[in-house]
Amino acid sequence: MDDKLASRLAAVAGSALQRLNPVGGGCIADASVAEFADGQRLFVKTAAGDHDMFVTEANSLRELAGPGVIRVPGVVHAERAMLVLELIDTGAPAGDFMAVFGRQLARLHRCSSGSYGFFEDNYIGATPQVNTPVRPLSDGWPAFYFEYRLLYQLRLVETNGHATSELIDLFNVLESRIDGLLAGSEEPPALLHGDLWSGNYMVAADGAPCLIDPAVYYGHREADLGMTKLFGGFGDGFYEAYEAEFSPAAGAAEREGLYKLYHLLNHLNLFGPSYYGQCITVLRHYCG
């Protein structure tokens, strides 16, 4: 056990650290359960290097916790080298788990802001996510989404050597069409988890949903819903309950691929060319 980490954790908890038990599942940070002499058990993330990822994750968790509509781990302590959270013990999902989850997410999406983005930039996985743009709200959601989500990822694709002339040509067409493709979905900016796939929620000991690993910003709620369907979806009960609580705007199903595209491009940047074909397929659908 690293003596410096043990000392920092003891100071945070106000009790001597007895054990630090590694847990699996993370690909960006090292995760552990810390056990203290006074009986406390806390969840700890650490990572090499000097960055603000843990500080921004803590702020995302606090933002999601604010409305009190869906559970997230409480933030105990955040610094550049370490994030300490409430330990959420896991359990079996209640029979209506997905319906409860869908309703709670819909209620979260009713929480709004006066502008798109967030008060700070953060991360989607290990990729920086720009939330503090210079464009005003009056420029609208299509401009925000294209420039600070899709185009930002394209520039990273170019930097990482995965771009082709076909990809760039399709993006040029998409830029000319984005206003029309997203027309009809005008709504106030909604509070988004930002990276809502099946690996970023858990079942708490009482059977209730709990959100983890957010990439929070205020944007169109269809962006969250699109991500939920990228790797197979959350089940009919989830979407039926969501729609009963907060019905999506007409045309949402057709816009879904545009919101998957952001995450496919991010996966292309993070994991390489195996995601290139999926990006092209989506772009051809909207730009062919």
CATH number at residue 197: 3.90.1200.10
**Interval 30-65: pLDDT, tens:** 999 999 999 999 999 998 777 899 999 999 999 999
Domain residues for the domain of 154 are 97-287
pLDDT of 111 over the 70 cut = yes
Within a domain: residue 184?
yes
pLDDT at 139 over 70: yes
Same domain, 129 and 166: yes
> Residues of the chain with pLDDT > 70: what percent?
97
Q: Based on the domain organization, do 46 and 176 belong to the same domain? A: no
Query: Which long-range contacts link 85-89 to residues 24+ away (Cβ below 8 Å)?
Result: 85/42, 85/43, 85/44, 85/45, 85/61, 86/42, 86/43, 87/33, 87/41, 87/42, 87/43, 88/43, 88/202, 88/204, 88/205, 88/210, 88/212, 89/204, 89/205
Question: What's the pLDDT band for 7 if we cut at 50, 70, 90?
Answer: very high
Single out the residue in 61, 86, 111 at which a domain terminates: 86
pLDDT for 3 beyond 90: no
Model pLDDT, residue 59:
98
Does one domain contain both 105 and 28?
no
Task: Round to whole Å and give the CA distance between 267 and 280.
Answer: 13
Return the C-alpha torsion angle 39, 91, 233, 216, nearest 10. Answer: -20
For the chain, the residue count is 288
Residue 234 and residue 110 share a domain:
yes
| Whether the Cβ atoms of residue 129 and residue 122 lie closer than 8 Å to each other | yes
Categorize the per-residue pLDDT at 136 as very low, low, confident or very high, splitting at 50, 70 and 90. low
Residues 147 and 82 in one domain: no
pLDDT at 137 over 70: no
264: tokens are 């496919």
Q: 53, 86, 119: which is the final residue of a domain? A: 86
Q: Confirm whether 91 is domain-assigned.
A: no
Contact 107, 201 (CB under 8 A): no
Please report, for the domain that includes residue 77, its CATH number. 3.30.200.20
Mean pLDDT of 60-78: 98
Q: Are 59 and 133 members of one domain?
A: no
With DSSP H G I counted as helix, E B as strand and the rest as coil, what are the percentages for the chain, rounded to 5? Answer: 45, 20, 35
CB 228 within 8 A of CB 197: yes
| pLDDT value of position 110 | 98
Whether residue 118 sits in one domain with residue 257: yes
Q: Please report the pLDDT score of residue 108 as a whole number.
A: 98
Secondary structure of residue 41 in the 3-state scheme: strand
Model confidence at 237: pLDDT above 80 = yes
Residues 243 and 191 placed together within one structural domain of the fold: yes
Last residue of a domain, one of 29, 59, 86: 86
Residue 62 lies in a domain: yes
Q: What stretches of the chain show up as alpha helix (H) in DSSP? A: 3-13, 53-65, 97-109, 140-145, 152-159, 165-181, 222-228, 236-245, 252-271, 276-287
Taking CA atoms, 253 is separated from 119, 174, 197, 223, in Å, by 30, 18, 18, 12
Mean pLDDT (the chain) is 94
Q: Which residues are catalytic?
A: 195
Residue 92 lies in a domain: no
Neighbours of 162 (CB within 10 A): 18
Q: How many domains does the chain have?
A: 2
pLDDT band at 198 (very low <50, low <70, confident <90, very high): very high
Q: Which residue has the higher pLDDT, 232 or 212?
A: 212
